[in-house]
Amino acid sequence: MQRILLDTDPGVDDAQAILMATAHAGSQVEAIFTVGGNVGIEHTTRNALTIVEAIGQDIPVFAGCESALVFEGEDAAWVHGNDGLGDANLVPQSRQVETEFAPTALLRMVTAEPDAFTLVAIGPLTNIALALRMDPTLPSKIKRFVVMGGAVTARGNTSNVAAEFNIFADPEAAHVVFEAWGKAGKLIELVDWEATVRYGIPFEKVAEWRALGTKRSTFFDTVSNRSFDRPSLTEGRTKMFAADPLALAVVIEPDCVTHAEDRFVMVETGGTYSRGQTVVDWDSRLKQEPNARIILKVKAERFFQLFEDGLK
Ligand code: RIB
Ligand code: CA
């Protein structure tokens, strides 16, 4: 059984990813850590509680950092709705957030059971960076670390065209994280925005899933439907881009990856147009040990099946 600790900023695609992970027979989500990102921490935390309640699993939710380490980033309410879950105005009926701060809870769990957990980050890396500053040995305590973030050839999705949202939301945090994993001689399994676009899900398939009629698919439809009717997200597109679900497919079924390359990745924190860029040393010119395993190819049909399995 793969034991997952999930750091997230729900977020419509975060919700979709949580549905996938919690339906997978070989995986167990043992804690959710929320971070500000797509929307503010109050909403991402409330949304995490709502999602956990909707799936009926007893997963503790710990609230983490409200804002980036140094500079406030832009949010993504234009994608996810002002409440972060499609403006469906869902609220948890009874579940309460834990009192322990997320970075503290993360360190407590991985220190008590080193090399037991897969850490997954599908939002800005602020909580992970803070945990690293509290305990620099964090990488040695983590079995696998999978990150949804970056744009490995600078085709991002933010106002800084080279930057992807999770990295651009807190570049300083991302720098701390990539640097620490490199110094520890460990690899971040990196699922970037460009892979997300390559493995977009055909709208026809999404329409089938919305109509499955199960409790989970109805929740998926409710929180996602605002995304489906937004011209800014659909015009000229034939596919739904599902960044966090792609990352969770890599987490719950590593065999779905058919090609990955280990490279040294740096995060740009300066630059008018490049702040938040994940700069990849593709030709190993710096002679630095790799700190990232860049996921380049996956079995698309397997990814789609894992997504669908999360809705049944
Ligand atoms: O760039 C995509 C990422 O930004 C996803 O994690 C999405 O939820 C947003 O946080
Ligand atoms: Ca996210």
Which residue from 165, 191, 227, 241 has its CB within 8 A of the most atoms of ligand 1, so it is best to mutate? 165
User: What digits encode the pLDDT tens for the residues 45-70?
Assistant: 999 999 999 999 999 999 999 999 99
Helix (H) or strand (E) segment spanning residue 312: none
Tens digit of pLDDT per residue, the chain (312 long)?
Answer: 999 999 999 999 999 999 999 999 999 999 999 999 999 999 999 999 999 999 999 999 999 999 999 998 888 888 888 999 999 989 899 999 999 999 999 999 999 999 999 999 999 999 999 999 999 999 999 999 999 999 999 999 999 999 999 999 999 999 999 999 999 999 999 999 999 999 999 999 999 999 999 999 999 999 988 777 777 777 788 999 999 999 999 999 999 999 999 999 999 999 888 999 999 999 999 999 999 999 999 999 999 999 999 999
CATH number of the domain where residue 158 is located? 3.90.245.10
| 62: containing domain | 2-309
- Rounded to the nearest angstrom, the distance between the alpha carbon of 287 and the centre of ligand 1 is 31
- Pairwise CA distance, residues 311 & 297, whole Å: 24
Indicate the number of domains in the chain.
1
Q: Which residues line ligand 1 (CB under 6 A)?
A: 9, 11, 13-14, 37-38, 76, 122-123, 148, 157, 164-166, 193, 243-244
pLDDT-above-70 percentage for the chain: 100
pLDDT score, position 225? 82
255 φ/ψ angles, rounded to the nearest 5 degrees: -70, -10
- Pairwise CA distance, residues 143 & 212, whole Å: 35
CB 69 within 8 Å of CB 126: yes
User: What digits encode the pLDDT tens for the residues 138-169?
Assistant: 999 999 999 999 999 999 999 999 999 999 99
Q: What is the largest CA-CA distance in the chain?
A: 54
DSSP string, 164-200: -HHHHT-HHHHHHHHHHHHHTT--EEEE-HHHHHHTP
The closest-lying atom of ligand 1 relative to the alpha carbon of residue 165 is 1
- Pairwise CA distance, residues 11 & 106, whole Å: 21
Strand partners, 293: 189, 262
Which residue from 6, 8, 14 has its CB within 8 A of the most atoms of ligand 1, so it is best to mutate? 14
